[in-house]
Amino acid sequence: MRAVIGLGNPGKAYENTRHNIGFIVLDRFAKLQKLNFNPEYNYLKSEGSIGSSDFILVKPTTFMNLSGLAAKNLLSNYEIPTEEMLVITDDIYLESGKLRIRRSGGDGGHNGLKSIIEHLETTNFPRLRFGIGDPAESTLSEYVLSPFSENELKIIDISVEKAVQLLEYFVAGGYKAMLDHFSKISSGGDVK
């Protein structure tokens, strides 16, 4: 079984904000798979399968800075190894819509990833970083909690579709399958 955790903040006020791109991708994937989210512990969960591969989708209800609590509960309740858990997160260091995948690594200044690393006591989990652009003239918190601009939405929508494809490959075949597909769909994307 594999797990995908989309990072974001719960509640209507945060629904379409940049910081919630993890939730946005999971919602699109769940809709495609005809799945619904239900509350469990400190997250919303949906389960499904692609072929013979079972998966769990998770949206933490702990707010971004405590995402690690949900990740720890998920992995211990379902006995999923960290290498089989993909985390989807926003990234201000990537231009809007750019995707980057990593097998492991640090938090990159992201509080949600920092919380997961602290609670799991490892950096050994794959992540899909989704570019939301540079805050430029806004404060960081104002920027990440704001919606995408009209100009960005077309690019974001295309990248959400690509991210959904990557999730399909991850849940069906793991990190290597996702990496192989990423190499095919990205033009000069960052991979490690």
Q: What is d(CA 8, CA 88) in angstroms, rounded to the nearest whole number?
A: 9
Nearest in space to 162 (alpha carbons), one of 179, 186, 189: 186
Asked if pLDDT for residue 134 goes beyond 90, the answer is no
pLDDT for res 135: 85
Q: What is the pLDDT of residues 61-81, one digit of tens each?
A: 999 999 999 999 999 999 999
Q: Is 65 annotated as a binding residue?
A: yes
Q: Is 29 annotated as a binding residue?
A: no
> Catalytic residues, which ones?
19
The CATH class, in words, for 2-191 is alpha beta
According to DSSP H, which parts of the chain are helical?
21-32, 67-78, 111-120, 140-144, 150-173, 175-185
In the chain, what are the domain boundaries?
Answer: 2-191
pLDDT for res 185: 80
pLDDT for res 192: 42
pLDDT for res 11: 93
Radius of gyration of the chain, Cα coordinates, nearest whole angstrom: 15
Nearest in space to 56 (alpha carbons), one of 66, 33, 69: 33
Q: Is 93 annotated as a binding residue?
A: no
In degrees, to the nearest 5, what angle opens at C-alpha 21 toward C-alphas 20 and 23?
A: 70
Asked if pLDDT for residue 9 goes beyond 90, the answer is yes
pLDDT for res 46: 97
pLDDT for res 187: 52
Number of neighbouring beta carbons within 10 Å of residue 146: 15
Tell me the whole-structure pTM to 2 decimals: 0.94
Q: Measured between alpha carbons, how far apart are the two ends of the chain, in Å?
A: 23
